[in-house]
Chain A
Amino acid sequence: MSKLKFMIPCDEANHVCDKSQYKDASLWEKVILNIHLIYCRACRKYSKNNGILSKTIKKAEVTCLDKECKENMKKDLNKVLKEISN
């Protein structure tokens, strides 16, 4: 039990907070984060903003092109570039 820390510094808390936005944080990490949030006002604010950011991005349904598609585009573009420069 002595190894388990209940108090973590803020940068670690932020790290866990970022992780939990992507569902990468373990249960223990989340518990510790919440303990930290009880007494740390700055981190409370940060984690609140972080949550809103995730929600906004999810709501906006942004997409992007996959890598393969970009590579194909690059090939085509380069072909035309060569044609033009010749």
Chain B
Amino acid sequence: MYLRKYLMKQPTIIKINYFYHKTMPNHIINPNKWIDLYADYLFNYTISRVSDREKAQDLVQDTFLAGLKSMKNFKGEASERTWLISILKRKIIDHYRKINSNKGKAEVRINYNDSESEGDWLEERVADPFDKTAEDTMQNNELSDAIYNCLGKLPQKQADVFKMKTIQGFETEVICNELNITASNLWVIIHRARTAMADCLKENWF
């Protein structure tokens, strides 16, 4: 009885599976749009973990290049962004590995040979009480990831304008000239972006 049921069920399972594969959104890769869409997101992700602007920039660039080279391996199971982030994560780990191996080779500092700075090194080691705690930074990392997630959900134009105005802090006129829009147009876009961002961030952060 059980077997018969099982056998009867089998074809439907296959059919469902087949159907599932057909309707699965197959992600397509398009490197021409990478930088416009993901550069800021990746950069922000990197800078919260590497905290050196130039290094972070290099890492993002490396990620894109590596992505190009292994484009054939992209199966379309995950979205482009997830795929790029997974490459970037590996790049960041490699970066830290490199630093650490350099450190191991020669970390002898002979800065304290003049009498004036004698004893400085002890003070240097005391933790700065005004420094951010690890927890603070961690929360900040998550927050900026969340912000970029929400920005990614906005239409391209809204995201661009919002980024320029809020994050880069450009003047209204500059943005208007750059993007060829009127001031009132800009404020409408900003208003929509702000409402969308607030709604999106409300779920997690407010």
Contacts and interface: CB of A to CB of B under 8 A. Distances in A.
Interface of A: 14-15, 18-19, 21-22, 24, 49-50, 52-54, 56-57, 59-66, 69-70, 73-74, 76-77, 80-81, 84
A65 B68 contact: no
B181 interface: no
B109 interface: no
Contacts of A81: 31-32, 68
Given A52-B206, A53-B198, A63-B44, A77 B191 contact: no
A86 B202 CA distance: 48
A64 B201 contact: no
Given A49-B198, A73-B61, A77-B64, 5 more contacts: A65-B40, A76-B65, A81-B68, A84-B68, A84-B69
Contact of A60 (B43, B61, B144, B191): B144
A55 B60 CA distance: 28
B140 A60 contact: yes
User: What DSSP secondary structure best describes chain B's contact surface?
Assistant: helix
Interface of B: 31-32, 34-36, 39-40, 43-44, 47, 53, 57, 60-61, 64-65, 68-69, 71, 140, 143-144, 147-148, 163, 165-168, 172, 187, 190-191, 194, 197-198, 201-202, 205-206
B44 A80 contact: no
A57 B166 contact: yes
Contacts, number: 91
Contacts of A73: 35, 39, 60-61, 64
B147 A64 contact: no
Contact of B57 (A21, A50, A69): A69
Contacts of A62: 44, 144, 147-148, 167
A77 B140 CA distance: 31
B61 A59 contact: no
B167 A57 contact: yes
B109 to A, nearest CB: 31
Given A57-B147, A81-B31, A63 B201 contact: no
A72 B132 CA distance: 34
A77 B34 contact: yes
Given A49-B206, A81-B68, A74 B35 contact: yes
A76 B40 contact: no
Contacts of A66: 168
Nearest to A19: B187
Given A63-B167, A81-B31, A18 B187 contact: yes
Contacts of A63: 43-44, 47, 53, 167
